[in-house]
Amino acid sequence: MTNTIPYLLSALSADITNRSRCLALSGYTISYPLQAGTWYYWRVRTNNTCGPGGWSSAWKFQPNCPAAGIPTLESPSNGALSVMQPIELDWGDVAEATRYNVQVDNDIDFETKDVNDENVAVSSMTLPILLEGVSYYWRIRTNNGCQWGDWSPVWSFVAGEQTDVGIIVRDEIPESFTLKQNYPNPFNPATTIEFALPRAAYVTLEIHNILGERIETLVSRPMSAGTYSVIWDASGVPSGVYFYKIEAGPFSETRKMTLVK
């Protein structure tokens, strides 16, 4: 079309108000980044010596969404038996993940979904108490802010008995006895103490004050090999330095922690 300059207008909404370009050619390459999965609208009109013409009808397009990664399931291991409760599900972090969808069901077809949480922000989740001795199936998918990815493979486990209140068990068999530093530290009012048992042992885990006086026993019973996390709620004691001590078979260790209120 002679003596004309076409105009291109693109926008984030159908009213086409936020961007325009004056062109001498019948084409335009967008040089700024667009949001994947968002609808964009565009239209064109010409201009000659008599003035601008009418707008073309508006068209729309949507940039492709990048594929969301598939999570790698880690724990409990596939087919694990008698997993002590409460059960913590763990999976590998997925790059660009904004949230995860976790599904757990006693039906491999996931028709009823005992758990269906679409807003899990981290790569782990502690399940509610499940029926002991029942097989459960679980799977995870990722949302990258644009779309949901494919489901992970389906893994299964058999729910075991419930552990003491405040103890979380992970399906990991360590190579050695370990007592880790509590976290957070300093803390107020609760903190988590993690320990690992390479084999079954009678475990005692106690809290002592600065004078060496025992103020609370968190664990005192036989325990299977595994990795455990115990939450200590110190709401009823004053600020100060405290010590936690574990004895498990031949293993004994004491660590220091600080309560700041």
Name all domains of the chain by residue range, CATH numbers in brackets.
7-61 (2.60.40), 73-162 (2.60.40.10), 170-259 (2.60.40.1930)
Question: Which has more pLDDT, 215 or 36?
Answer: 215
- The mean predicted confidence, pLDDT, of the chain is 85
pLDDT band at 20 (very low <50, low <70, confident <90, very high): low
Q: Strand 155-162 and strand 80-85: pairing?
A: parallel
Report whether pLDDT(196) > 60: yes
Residue 46's pLDDT is: 79
Please check whether residue 36 is in contact with residue 63, taking contact to mean a CB–CB distance below 8 angstroms: yes
Q: Assess whether pLDDT exceeds 60 at residue 225.
A: yes
Alpha-carbon gap, residue 148 to 139, rounded angstroms:
13
In tens, the pLDDT along 144-189 reads 988 899 999 999 999 887 666 567 667 678 999 999 999 999 999 9
| Predicted structure pTM score | 0.50
Phi and psi of 141, rounded to 5°? Answer: -135, 165
Largest CA distance in the chain: 96
The closest of 206, 207, 203, 244 to 225, measured between CA atoms, is: 203
Is the pLDDT at 27 greater than 80? The verdict is: no
pLDDT of 76 above 80: yes
For the stretch 93-125, pLDDT in tens is 998 899 999 999 999 999 989 999 999 999 999
Q: What percent of the chain has pLDDT over 90?
A: 52
Provide the percentage of residues in the chain whose pLDDT is more than 70: 85
What Rg, from alpha-carbon coordinates, does the chain have? 29
